Amino acid sequence: MSAVRLLVVTAVAAERDAAARGLRPAAASPPPAPPGRDAIRVTRGGDGPGHRPVRADLVAGGVGPAASAASTATAPTAAAARGEPYDLVVSAGIAGGFAPVAAPGSVVVADRVIAADLGADSPDGFLPADALGFGTTEHTCAPRLAAAVARGLGAVHAPVLTVSTATGTAGRAALLRERHDAAAEAMEGFGAAEATAGHGTPFLEIRTVSNAVGPRDRSAWRVPEALAALEDAFAAPHAVLTRCVPPPHGRPPEVRGSSGAVPSPRG
């Protein structure tokens, strides 16, 4: 049975390593030499009947949409040149959550990724780039797979915003929440989604919330807890990934209901 080839792109090494720990079986030894300077490779056999094995490359691609787009575009190109194209690309990491939808410690699986500050100011307010006739400002995540992963994780399933400047005021947070009905704000997802779209590969964004979007109160940030939640998030959806990601040149298998389809996150 062919393996699910997975690319996970994070901003920084701490996020990459947390996701790698979640994907790796508990009894596994440290991963082999990485395929690139900033990458880790994790392989995992199928966990049960009908579960495909997983081979994941995890890359710390840098902070911001441009760095994320560059990293995400490079890795699939190299993989395709090796004759090993990816089946799925995931942008992942910690994020700010919009209260009360996504509190610190919660998990968000994006249904859409939106470039919230890509556009122009005007006397009538913000104009997104697509309204100006310049490309797009949002990408839809793989709908069936994103919904299945969200159910399995008990996660919020809603838009995740990509910004180049993190929100630092309550007013701006309220405006973005009202405009986009979003659950979380990060800085890389849209760049990764743009690059993935060029390869025609399914895309997800998974975020765990470390702080509320708004005034920067560092004493309220819960970064270690969010990284632990990220590890759990990547441990939990393994069965969904192996059942739902289409095999090469084949149709995706049917998704079971949430009951019994995905193991519960570790405590």
Ordered by where they begin, the domains of the chain are 4-244 (3.40.50.1580)
- Kindly give the residue spans of alpha helices, DSSP state H, lying in 82-222: 143-153, 170-180, 189-197
pLDDT on residue 127: 81
Residue 11 pLDDT grade (very low, low, confident, very high; cuts 50, 70, 90): very high
Q: What is the pLDDT of residues 186-224, one digit of tens each?
A: 999 999 999 999 888 999 999 999 999 999 888 889 999
Residue 175: CB atoms within 10 Å: 15
pLDDT on residue 78: 87
Ramachandran category for residue 82: left, alpha or beta (phi over 0 → left; psi -120 to 50 → alpha): alpha
Given a contact cutoff of 8 angstroms between Cβ atoms, the answer to whether 168 and 216 are in contact is: yes
pLDDT on residue 230: 96
Q: Report the chain's mean pLDDT, rounded to a whole number.
A: 83
User: Going by DSSP bridges, is the β-strand pair 88-97/184-186 parallel, antiparallel, or unpaired?
Assistant: antiparallel
Residue 240 pLDDT grade (very low, low, confident, very high; cuts 50, 70, 90): confident
Residue 228 to residue 18: CA distance in whole angstroms: 7
pLDDT on residue 251: 37
* Ranges 77-81, 112-116, 157-161, 225-229: which has the least confidence: 77-81
Residue 155 to residue 153: CA distance in whole angstroms: 5
